[in-house]
Amino acid sequence: MPTVYIPTPLRRLTGGQSKVEVEAHTVQELVQALEARYPGMADRLLDDSGQVKRFINVFVNDAEIRTLQGLETPLQSQDQVSIVPAMAGGGR
């Protein structure tokens, strides 16, 4: 099963877990599986049109899914999926 790395702001949905494993063959299935297990996850990840929110980056291994096949990006059992919210702030 793919391993999903959960960012700190979403860990309250996973009971504090920093990584979880879910059965999925695409990133879309992964989001659905996360939502089924951890209600509210899809609302944090997807916009009203069902696409990944623009300030959320999802990586499969080291590649951002927008450079692959988006939500249809296929997954293998050994894949590592990282959810990375964009950081804001900085200098003056």
Token pair 């916009």: residue? 47
> So what's the pLDDT on residue 87?
67
Residue 92 lies in a domain: no
> So what's the pLDDT on residue 92?
62
Q: Do the Cβ atoms of 1 and 22 come closer than 8 Å? A: yes
Report the alpha-carbon angle 10-51-59, nearest 5.
60
> So what's the pLDDT on residue 88?
61
> So what's the pLDDT on residue 35?
97
Average pLDDT for runs of 10 along the chain of length 92 = 95 96 97 97 95 95 96 97 80 61
> So what's the pLDDT on residue 86?
82
Return the closest-CA partner of residue 25 out of 33, 36, 13. Answer: 33
For the chain, the domain total comes to: 1
Residue 10 lies in a domain: yes
Distances (CA, A) of 43 to 13, 60, 84, 89: 11, 20, 15, 24
CATH number, domain of 78, equals 3.10.20.30
The residue range of the domain holding 24 is 3-85
